[in-house]
Structure 1
Amino acid sequence: MKKLSDAKVGDYVKVIQNDAQDSLKERFLALGLTNGANIEVLRNGPKNNLTVFRIRGAMIALRKEESKYIEII
């Protein structure tokens, strides 16, 4: 499956599953990363470790280590 960390700048993707555990999963849910959520990849941060996404109208920055838990199509 494709992960959110694989998405490129300019892509529009949809969440199909949140594979995170415990507090990280709760954080993702609070940020709007729920099944079916549409995400736009806006830009990469320094050293390509951080990526900025538009999720439900809000701009959210996630590290690659975090975004690898989100499955997308």
Structure 2
Amino acid sequence: MSVLTDLHIGETATLVALNLPDSVQNYLMHMGFVPNAQVTVLRRAPAGDPTVYGIDGMQIALRRETAEAIRVRTSSDTSQVEIDAELEKIAAKTRSQSARQDQSEIHEFAGVTR
């Protein structure tokens, strides 16, 4: 999972969570920073702070310390989640096949037939 400051200019991500004080969180939520909203990095100040983000048709400048507390999911994060889920499916299938093989070998050793 990434935070808003990890994004490059022009990059878009899906907002996941705001880890901010309630007053700041409520303000940003009223401005469109809600879960599953798409946020795009539009431009940065010459010194790198603040950064202007586009969300729900608006442009909002946020300081680095605020943006660092906003968790987002990028397309690469999504791809990794999909990869991890597929690997878990494969591992579960392998464990299941291995358990059946072990059971079969135990039955064979004990002289049990099916």
Q: Quick one: distance in 1 between partners of 2:36 and 2:22?
A: 20
| 2:59 match: secondary structure | strand
Instruction: Write the mapping of 1:4-43 to structure 2, written as runs, cut at 5 A.
Output: 4-43=4-43
Q: Quick one: distance in 2 between partners of 1:41 and 1:34?
A: 16
How far residue 62 of structure 1 moved from its aligned partner, in angstroms, is 0.5
- With the length of structure 2 as denominator, give the TM-score of the two structures: 0.61
The corresponding residue for 2:64 is 64
| 2:8 match: secondary structure | coil
How far residue 22 of structure 1 moved from its aligned partner, in angstroms, is 1.7
Relative contact order, CA 8 A, sep 6+: which one is greater? 1
1:44 and 2:44 aligned: yes
Which has the larger share of helix? Answer: 2
Q: Quick one: distance in 2 between partners of 1:6 and 1:27?
A: 22
RMSD: 0.9
Deviating 4+ runs (over 3 angstroms): none
Question: What one-letter code is carried by the residue in structure 1 that aligns with 2:57?
Answer: G
Paired residues in the alignment total 73
| Percent identity of equivalent pairs | 30
Which has the larger share of strand? Answer: 1
